[in-house]
Structure 1
Amino acid sequence: MSPNNAIDPAGGVARQSRRVSNLAHFLTKAARRLKERPALVWGDKSWSWSELDDRVSAIAAAMTERFSVEKGDRVLVQSQNCNQMFETMFACFRIGAVYVPTNFRQTPDEVAYLASASGAKLMICNAAFPKHASACREASPALSAVIAIGEADFGPSFDALVDEFSGRTVPNAAVDHDDPCWFFFTSGTTGRPKASVLTHGHMAFVIVNHLFDLMPGTGPHSVSLVVAPLSHGAGVHQLIQVAAGATTLLMPGERFDIPAAFELIERWKVTNMFTVPTILKMMVEHEAIERYDHSSLTHIIYAGAPMYRADQKRALDKLGSVIVQYFGLGEVTGAITVLPASEHQIDDERHRIGTCGFERTGMEVEIQDETGKALASGETGEICVIGPAVFAGYYDNPEANAKAFRNGWFRTGDLGHMDAEGYLYITGRASDMYISGGSNVYPREIEEKILTHPAISEAAIVGVPDPVWGEVGIAVVVAANGQSVDPAEIAAFLEPKLSRYKLPKRILVWDEMPKSAYGKITKKMIREELERRGELSPAGQ
């Protein structure tokens, strides 16, 4: 980072430190302007903007005065969605500390690794997770204290601390563009999770970009429903709602209840929500969609995985032209491409089937070969990206940073191609591709074909070793409600639609797909389940 008053050798212009607005100023501004309007609602409790701001200042005061948390210190948070988790995010921002949320479904050992890897000084842990608190204390000498959300014997109560420090005014810390505000841990589908460093300056761009590209018109009149864990994409989405002054609703229970979600949408006239394709698919296929009024919805943002064409069409039929897709990784804070509602068409002739949209405002995408050379439109290679939404790098991981960046471009690890108009088509993860008989096979193409069969609800393809062809594919499918599936019939259905080398060697029918805590079907979990069932070989032996 450049020192203060450094001289720019290119222009000889004096350059000051890159001071930016603290992200907590969005809450300060909303509390000042919107005061008693509802900011956060959870079950039968609600908090106005002024109340939320006061609680954030109180817990921020406790963190600094009682637990000596300073600017740059990391605060680990292990909890399911709740108002205290939401408040902690802004308290960290306010004092210049770094917010480090975990996936609450992770095991104690997994969370202990995150505590150690992040060097967290303070942990805020829901009372439901005493083993996690204990494991983190054992694994991380830097962790000096734990605060409990609820009543627990492993630390003082979050709400009691808010009461004790109520009335304190805590100013937003001075921050520079590159000051970290959030460690966004990757899912760790290959190896250990890595902490993507998000900064105050880069997140300010992401907020503006999301509002402009994904949900224009969002403001104090808007209401957002949270149906995913706040630790990852949903947390970014809710930060954007605060910036816009929109009301946030948390689901009343830990488990996602579809009728309850639709009831909230009707009662509060919800305008937007963020989810993943599998959850949106479940909502669209549930009978509750017919019982509740959802006409208030203007933007349903889906991301985290591709949405198959058959599911897109069902969603458009039931919800209308309100679904918005974005493609992006945690390292790019979701901001790579967008396919707005206006470009989701139910008519195949008018819809660009298979695309995840075009470049986000201020971002640039390039398809590169393995040497970093740019490929022509239509050619498949690695999706690489530059722009202000790209993260600062992985915390304390120079080896990972060296692999992730090449000639200034961030390498996503995803494969795809762009058409002549700049629309991106994702083929799959580089790690998902397999080579059969010397030819590259991209599972997503096959999955799309399988899902056009009316009896199939979900599908996943993985490549496995084969003594003749090198690798072949195993297809795992789940039947649609009330349907029966014959693997031989599915194979016959696929045969005229795919080259022979792309046809799966075996088709397995499961009752359900294993999914991550965020509702995504991951190939890692499919492989683990195949191995557990003894079906990982092409012959099933």
Structure 2
Amino acid sequence: MNHARAMNLSALLSQTAALFPDRPGLIQGERQWTWQEIDRRVDALVQALRSLGMRPGDKLLVMSRNNPALFESCWAAFRMGAVWVPVNFRLTPPEVAYLGSASEASVMLAEDCFAEHVEAVKAASSHLRSVVTIGLPRADELGYEALLVAHADAPAAMAQVDADHPLWYFYTSGTTGRPKAAVLTHGQLAFVVTNHLADLIPGTTEHDCSIAVAPLSHGAGIHALLNVARGAPTVLLASDRLEPATFWALVERHRVTNVFTVPTIVKMLVEDPAIDRFDHGSLRYVVYAGAPMYRADQKRALQKLGKVLVQYFGLGEVTGCITVLPPAMHAADDDDPDAHIGCCGRARTGMEVAILDARMQPVPAGTVGEICCRGPAVFAGYFNNPEATQNALRGGWFHTGDLGRMDARGLLYITGRESDMYISGGSNVYPREVEEILLMHPAVREVAVLGIADEKWGEVGVAVIVASQPGLTAEQLLHHLDGRCAKYRWPRHIFFWDALPKSGYGKVAKTDIRQRLVERGDVKEAAAT
């Protein structure tokens, strides 16, 4: 059957560069890069990667903090029909080694401060052929800027792609421990960008401006694509530390209109006294995702910023596209019908959301079941993991693993998680991964890690340990986690028990552990709201 090919997503950048060649596309500190400059640098990077033997379908592993090279690398991967594999720069060398090996990446692009991670990937991966360094390259590495200079002024042909051609491995974990690569495609992302522009930041033009406060390797990277599509520049922070005063100064200076972030960061920014020293009246959309927001924090943000909050609920597998609660559906007054307290909003444009029971049948309005969705934003499956793919897409729906209910109007309310996953500071933490590392300690016989509500971080981890020998301390366990597990995953509270409660099937019963922690007064709340 004859059919038209799909648009290569990198056309979004070249279209914007043709339309607004001299307008700024990226801003960091005193430096600005125009759209034309970025597009030409991306062309040079494509030619450089091709000279290293990269071909359509090959994978580019990227380990970097937010900077122009990280931003450019995704467009280069898309343009050459390769797959972009960015990793969270806060991960430890062993964690990144696994991602490098599992993704089968042939080229690694890394900032020069991550030499240990590069060595770990080299040792673990049989596919890695070249390392390109942002900053000062070591002996057997290539310098990023030198490569761009060597391939400057060479327009790069855009790879022909179909809608289901992979372009991004979005790493996510789930309940099975090891991270899985959710395969995002050119067709899916073209829908997602259009959908986000309709639902999250409608009316955005080249006169708008965005600011990136979260790593571009994940949700903030998706958000950056939207701004590129409309020609709005993105401001990058000069450091990977988020200082509220710096943030508000940048909002005032660049008349920032939209930002993608998480509830804990919104809370930190609006509670800081600096918010009152700078003009933030330009802000139109403050998007928060990754977790519901405590009502008290929501009210404070609305009082300080006005009606600019946008909530979206989603997962990497559907690039955030499940439900949206737009500014008009937020209100600071609890009695206002627009307040929608505890609500995650309505189905995204072009997506269908359903609450299903265990037999995969829809349940009546107001009944709790599993939140499932279908539509063009759903991923193509997990790379090299047919079993997990089949499980996630059974019955023709994407299964989120989250529990919720939908009212008669189609508005969604999340009630809990099927999995044990919790969200701390906007980052997903999967207890199974932390438990497996703790169990590697010779003095740990049994362990259970669970998330509990926390004022500052949304949720934090609690570890309950059964030791196999006396004298084991919390300090020893944290020392054991150091270097093996990213710090945001570390449990904040560690308790030692003689035994863990078990279900009739011999499984550790986390609901009973949670209840006992509350009864003992070890934790204040039974669960995060």
TM-score, with normalisation over the residues of structure 1?
Answer: 0.80
Q: Secondary structure at the match of 2:113?
A: coil
Structure 2 residue 32 is the aligned partner of structure 1 residue 46: yes
- Alignment counterpart, residue 184 of structure 1, candidates 155, 167, 170: 170
Specify the code of the residue in structure 1 equivalent to 2:334.
Answer: D
Identify the residue that residue 102 of structure 1 maps to in structure 2.
87
- Provide the alpha-carbon RMSD of the alignment: 2.5
Other-structure match for 2:70: 85
CA contact (8 A) 2:25 2:34 kept: yes
What displacement does 1:202 show?
Answer: 0.7
**Partners in 1 of 2:166 and 2:352 — Cα distance?**
23
In 2, are the aligned partners of 1:119 and 1:143 still within 8 Å (CA)?
yes
Q: Structure 1 residues 187 and 271 mapped into 2: Cα distance closer, same or farther (>3 Å)?
A: farther
| One-letter identity of the residue aligned with 1:366 | A
1:432 CA drift (Å): 4.2
1:221 touches 1:246 (CA, 8 Å); kept in 2? yes
Give 1:341 deviation, angstroms. 0.3
Read off the aligned partner of 2:144 and give its amino acid letter.
Answer: F
1:76-225, aligned counterparts within 5 Å?
76-153=61-138, 154-187=140-173, 190-225=176-211
Contact in 1 for aligned 2:175/2:420 (Cα 8 Å): no
Q: 2: distance between equivalents of 1:55 and 1:114?
A: 27
Q: How does 1:294-313 map to 2 (within 5 A)?
A: 294-313=280-299
**Given that residues 74 and 120 in structure 1 are in contact (C-alpha distance below 8 angstroms), is that contact kept between their aligned partners in structure 2?**
yes
Residue 240 of structure 1 and its aligned partner are, at CA, apart by 1.0
Partner of residue 368, structure 1: 356
Deviations 1:134-157 (A, max 9, x none): 111111111111100000315111
What is the one-letter code of the residue matched to 1:430? E
**1:314-353 alignment, distance < 5 Å:** 314-349=300-335, 350=337, 351-353=339-341
Q: 1:373 to 1:114 in 2, by over 3 A?
A: same
Could you tell me how far 1:183 is from its partner in structure 2?
Answer: 0.5
Select which of 393, 399, 402 maps to 2:381. Answer: 393
How far the C-alpha of 1:477 sits from its partner, in A, is 4.3
Please tell me the residue identity of whatever aligns with 2:19: R
Distance 1:411 1:476, change over 3 A: closer
Q: 1:249 aligns with which of 218, 235, 242?
A: 235
Say which SS state the counterpart of residue 402 (structure 2) adopts: strand
Code of the aligned partner of 1:200: H
Q: Pick one of 45, 53, 58 that aligns with 1:68.
A: 53
Alpha-carbon displacement from aligned partner over 1:94-121 (angstroms, at most 9, x marks no partner): 1110000000110111111111111101
2-structure distance, mates of 1:375, 1:118: 38
CA displacement, residues 442-493 of structure 1 (integer Å, 9 cap, x when unaligned): x99xxxxxxxxxxxxxxx9x9xxxxxxxx9x99554489xxxxxxxxxxxxx
Once residues 534 and 95 of structure 1 are traced to their aligned partners in structure 2, the CA distance between those partners, rounded to angstroms, is 53
Any conservation in 2 of the 1:18–1:177 contact (CA below 8 Å)? no
Q: Please, which of 356, 377, 388 is the counterpart of residue 365 of structure 2? A: 377
1:189-243 deviation line (CA, Å, top 9, x unaligned): 6501100000001100000000001111101111000000000000000011101
TM-score by length of 2: 0.81
Unaligned runs of 5+ in 1: 6-15, 434-442, 445-459, 463-470, 481-519
Following TM superposition, the consecutive aligned residue runs of length 4 or more in structure 1 with deviations greater than 6 angstroms are none
**Pairing 1:18-57 to 2, within 5 Å after superposition:** 19-57=5-43
C-alpha contact 1:17 1:176 (8 A) present in aligned 2: no
Contact 2:66–2:216 (Cα < 8 Å) also in 1: yes
Distance 1:477 1:138, change over 3 A: closer
Write the distance in 2 (CA, Å) between the matches of 1:365 and 1:54: 41
Cα distance, 1:17 vs. partner? Answer: 4.0
Distance 1:478 1:209 in 2: 33
Asked if residue 529 in structure 1 is aligned to residue 492 in structure 2, the reply is yes
2:215 aligned residue: 229
- Are residue 287 (structure 1) and residue 239 (structure 2) matched? no
Change (3 A) 1:162 1:362: same
1:325, 1:140 → 2: CA distance? 39
Which residue, out of 237, 248, 262, partners 1:276?
262
Higher relative contact order (CA 8 A, sep 6+): 2
Alpha-carbon deviation of 1:187?
Answer: 4.5
Look up the SS of the partner of 2:344 in the other structure.
strand
Q: CA deviation at 1:373?
A: 1.4
Equivalent residue of 1:19, what SS? coil
Alpha-carbon distance, 1:18 to partner? 5.1
Q: Which amino acid aligns with 1:238?
A: A
Which consecutive residues of structure 2, in runs of 5 or more, have no partner in the other structure?
A: 424-428, 432-447, 458-485, 498-512, 524-529
Q: Is the 8 A contact 1:369 1:382 kept in 2?
A: yes
Q: How many equivalent residue pairs? A: 451
Q: Give the 3-state SS of the residue equivalent to 2:206 in structure 1.
A: coil
Pairwise CA distance, 1:521:
12
Identify if the C-alpha distance between structure 1 residues 474 and 320 changes in structure 2 by more than 3 Å, giving closer, same or farther: closer
Q: Structure 1 17/137 Cα, relative in aligned 2: closer, same or farther at 3 Å? A: farther
SS at match of 1:407: helix
Q: Using the alignment, how far apart are the partners of 2:454 and 2:179 within structure 1? A: 29
Q: Determine the C-alpha separation between the residues in 1 that align with 2:277 and 2:263.
A: 22
Preserved contact between residue 175 and residue 419 of structure 2 (Cα < 8 Å): no
Q: Out of 18-27 and 276-285, give the one that drifted further.
A: 18-27
In structure 1, C-alpha distance between the alignment counterparts of 2:408 and 2:487, rounded to whole Å: 31
- In structure 1, what residue type is equivalent to 2:197? L
Deviation by residue 1:303-354 (Cα, 9 ceiling, x = unmatched): 0111111111111000000010111100011010010001101121221211
Q: Distance in 2 between matches of 1:428 and 1:68?
A: 47
Q: Secondary structure at the match of 2:224?
A: helix
Q: C-alpha separation between the residues in 2 aligned to 1:64 and 1:205? A: 28
CA contact (8 A) 1:385 1:411 kept: yes
Question: What is the aligned partner in structure 2 of residue 264 from structure 1?
Answer: 250
